[in-house]
Amino acid sequence: MTYSANTDPELTDWLRWASESHEVPMFVRTVAEAAFLADSPNYALLRPVLLKLKRQRPDEYQASN
């Protein structure tokens, strides 16, 4: 299935949080922002990286929800 940052059931909420959060490193925030600008083929390339970034800091995201 083809996803975008707005339709990805596993990452949409995290991407919104990461792109707006001042709790994450600037690199993570910038990559999250880029995900919203990516077309489908480029989002598909980014998705594995986004999943890994999300898993690196699960406590920060969970604490904010």
Write out pLDDT tens, residues 16-38.
999 999 989 999 999 999 999 99
Look at residue 62 and tell me whether its pLDDT is greater than 90. no
Contact 51, 8 (CB under 8 A): no
Domain assignment present for residue 31? The answer is yes
Has residue 27 been placed in a domain?
Answer: yes
Asked whether residue 5 is assigned to any structural domain, the reply reads no
Would you say residue 29 lies in a domain? yes
Domain contains 3: no
Residue 32 lies in a domain: yes
Q: How many domains does the chain have?
A: 1
Domain range for 36 is: 12-64
Tell whether 19 is covered by a domain.
yes
pLDDT of residue 60 exceeding 90 = no
pTM (global) more than 0.85: yes
Residue 2 falls inside a structural domain: no
